[in-house]
Structure 1
C-alpha cells in the first residue's frame, strides 16, 4: 500500500516537466517516493522536489536511472509523445513515417515513377547535413523520404551510378539519423545509423564508417543503462578506425568520436579528461571549418563540448570558464551556436544566476528556434525557473519563453 502521499501535492503545478511524469509512473507502479529514491541512490526529498517541479531533472544520469527504475523509456519521462505536436517540429514529425518507410524499403517501390537524376540527388545529399546544422528540420524532413528512396534505387539498380549513389547515401542517412535522434525518435535514429554504416561499408569510406559509429554511439546514449555501450562504441571506433582516418575529414571524425566518448564518460561519472585531451590535440591538426558532415570539428567546437561535459558534471563555474574561450559570433553553424547558449544557460542556472541563464536561453532560441523549442532540457530548466519566479514574471520574457518551449 502506498502510504507516502506527495508532501506538496497542492502546490503550484505549472506546465510540463519531467517530475510530473515521474510522479505519474511511480504511482502506476505502486511505488513510494522512498522506494524510488532507494532504487536510484538519492535522497527521498530529491524525488519529492523533482515531482513538484521545485528541482529540475537536468542530469542525464539521474534521468536515465529514473527511467530504468520506473521501467519506462526516456521519452515517456521527457514527454516525447506530446512533442510530436510541437509546432516547432510538427512538419518534421509529419515526415517521420515516410522517412522510416524509405529506410526500411531501401529503394524497393512499386516503380510508378522513375528516380530523379543522380546528379540532382548528389547535390541534395551534399545539402542535407548543411540543412541539419542550420536546424531547419521542416526543410530536411520534407526532402529526406524521396531522396533516400531514389538514392537506393540508383545504388541497388546495378548500373554505373551505384558507387556514387552509395557514397551519397552516407551524408543523407547520417542527417536522417542525427535529426531523428535529436528530436527523440531513437528507434528510427538507430535504423538510419545502421543504414549509414551499410553505405559506408559498401562505399569503403572510412569517414562514412566513422560517422555511422558516431551516430550509433549518440543513439545509445539516449537509452537508460546504455552509457557503457555508448562509450565502447565511440572509443572503440576511434581506436579501430584511427589508422584509416588520415584525411582532414577523417581526423575530424576521429576527434568527434573522442568528444562523444568524453561526454559519455562524464555522464557515467568517470573521468572524461583523456578523451577531451585527445580531441583537443587532434583539433590542432585539422582545419577549423571542415567538411565531415558539417560538424565543424575544431578547437572552438572542442571547447563547446568541454562546456557540455562540465554541465554534465554539474560544474557550472567550470562550464562558464570554458565559455570564455569561445567567440559565439564565430561559431559557423546554428546547431553549435544554439548548443553553446543552451549549455551556458544551464551553467548559469547551476550557479543560481537566473537572469544570465534566461538571457543565454533567449539567445539560443533566437539562433535556432526549431531546435531549441524542442529540447526537453530547455523546457525543464525554463519551467523550473518559472516556478521559482514571482507571478508577475509570467507576463515577461520568461513567461513568453516558457510558452514557446511548452513549459507553461
Structure 2
C-alpha cells in the first residue's frame, strides 16, 4: 500500500510540479524517483538544456538545505536524468558528479544503502573524469559513511583518512583544507562507532583546529558546511554513537541552534538531542526535541526512517501524550 501511495504521489508531483503528497511518504517518493533516474527509467520530467543545469543544481542544493523533500523529489531525479541525456561532448561531469553526491546524501538520510552505494560510486567516477578534486573527496566521504553504516568500520576509517591525505586535496587551498576537516570529522564518528572514544576525541580536536584556522563556514554544499560549530554538531552524534548521551547533551549545550548554517543542520541538532534524551529515558524532553525538529523541518522529520523509529520506540515504551500521538500521525507511524 505504501508503494502504491508513493507512486500515486509521485505522479501528482510530475503533473502539477508541487508537493501534494502526505509528508510521511515523501521519502519513498524521493527514493523511487532517484532509483528510476539512476536506472534510466521513467517519463519525461521536462527538458533541461545544458545551460540550465547549473541553476537547477543550485536550486536542488537550496531545497536540500531547507529540507524541502517534495521539491527534491521532482528536481533531483530530473537533474540526474537530464545530465545523462546530454551527448558525451556536452556532459558536464563535474556537475553530474555533484548531483550524485547530493543524491547519495539523501539516500543515506533515507536508509537506502543499496542505491546509496550506486550513487556514491557514480559520483566518484564522474568527479575523477571531470578532475573535480573536492567532489572526489566528498564522494569518498559519502562512501565512508556508507561503509560505517554497513558495519565496516575499519574500511570506513581507511577511506576517510586516505582521502584526507590525498596530495591533490592538500593542494586545493582553503576549500581543500575544509574538505580535509570534513573527512577527519567523519573518521571521528567512525571511531565512536568502533568504541574508540579517545580516537574520536583526538580526531574531533584535529577537525576543530582546522575549522578554527579557517574561520567562518566553508563548503556549505559539502557535508552541511564546515566550521567550528558544525564540528561541534558532529560531536553530538559521535557521543551518542559512543554510548554517552550525557556527553552528547553537554556538547549540544555549547551550540546556539540559530548559529548553524541551514535548516537541515538545525533539524539534525534537534534530532540528535532527541536521540540522547531517548537513551537516557527522558521521554518528555525527547518529544519536545522532536517537535522542535518538526518545527524546523517538517518534511524531513516526517519522512526520515531514523526519526520514525525513534517515534515508534516512544509509542511502545510508555504513556503517549497527545503531542506524541499527533507527531506519530503526521509521520505515518502507527501506535
The question of 1:403 aligning with 2:319 is answered: no
The question of 1:93 aligning with 2:24 is answered: no
Structure 1 partner of 2:131: 204
**Aligned equivalents of 1:188 and 1:237: distance in 2?**
22
**Aligned equivalents of 1:251 and 1:190: distance in 2?**
26
- CA drift at 1:82: 11
Structure 1 partner of 2:16: none
Matches within 5 A, 1:211-230: 211-223=138-150, 225-230=151-156
The SS at the match of 2:149 is coil
Q: Which has the larger radius of gyration?
A: 1
1:173 aligns with one of 97, 100, 116: 100
Q: Is this contact kept in 2: 1:214–1:234, CA < 8 A?
A: yes
CA deviation string 1:340-363 (max 9, x = no partner): 111112222333332222211110
Matches within 5 A, 1:323-342: 323-342=252-271
Structure 2 partner of 1:41: none
Deviates more, 1:214-223 or 1:286-295: 286-295
Structure 2 partner of 1:367: 296
CA deviation string 1:229-282 (max 9, x = no partner): 222211221122575353333222211111111111111112312221111111
Structure 1 partner of 2:13: none
**Aligned equivalents of 1:113 and 1:354: distance in 2?**
44
The question of 1:103 aligning with 2:38 is answered: yes
- Number of equivalences: 317
Q: Is this contact kept in 1: 2:134–2:169, CA < 8 A?
A: no
The question of 1:263 aligning with 2:185 is answered: no
Note the residue ranges of structure 2 that are not aligned, 5 or more in a row: 8-20
- CA drift at 1:95: 4.8
**Which structure shows the higher helix fraction?**
2
TM-score when normalising by structure 1 = 0.70
The SS at the match of 1:221 is helix
- CA drift at 1:182: 1.1
2:122 aligns with one of 195, 215, 227: 195
**Aligned equivalents of 1:221 and 1:350: distance in 2?**
21
- CA drift at 1:149: 2.5
- CA drift at 1:299: 0.5
**Aligned equivalents of 1:364 and 1:213: distance in 2?**
29
Structure 1 partner of 2:76: 144
**Aligned equivalents of 1:98 and 1:185: distance in 2?**
13
Structure 2 partner of 1:157: 88
CA deviation string 1:182-205 (max 9, x = no partner): 112211111111111122111111
CA deviation string 1:154-200 (max 9, x = no partner): 3x432xx44xx122113211111111121122111111111111221
Q: Is this contact kept in 2: 1:245–1:254, CA < 8 A?
A: no
CA root-mean-square deviation: 2.9
Note the residue ranges of structure 1 that are not aligned, 5 or more in a row: 1-79
Per the alignment, do residues 388 and 144 of structure 1 end up closer, same or farther by CA in structure 2, a change over 3 Å counting? closer
Structure 2 partner of 1:297: 226
Per the alignment, do residues 148 and 113 of structure 1 end up closer, same or farther by CA in structure 2, a change over 3 Å counting? closer
Per the alignment, do residues 88 and 222 of structure 1 end up closer, same or farther by CA in structure 2, a change over 3 Å counting? farther
Q: Is this contact kept in 1: 2:140–2:160, CA < 8 A?
A: yes
The SS at the match of 1:285 is helix
The SS at the match of 1:272 is helix
**Aligned equivalents of 1:176 and 1:236: distance in 2?**
23
Structure 2 partner of 1:236: 162
- CA drift at 1:96: 3.5
CA deviation string 1:265-310 (max 9, x = no partner): 1111123122211111111133432235252111110001111111
Deviates more, 1:202-211 or 1:122-131: 122-131
Per the alignment, do residues 389 and 280 of structure 1 end up closer, same or farther by CA in structure 2, a change over 3 Å counting? same
Per the alignment, do residues 401 and 322 of structure 1 end up closer, same or farther by CA in structure 2, a change over 3 Å counting? same
Structure 2 partner of 1:13: none
- CA drift at 1:389: 3.1
- CA drift at 1:83: 11
Deviates more, 1:211-220 or 1:232-241: 232-241
**Aligned equivalents of 1:182 and 1:84: distance in 2?**
18
Per the alignment, do residues 120 and 387 of structure 1 end up closer, same or farther by CA in structure 2, a change over 3 Å counting? same
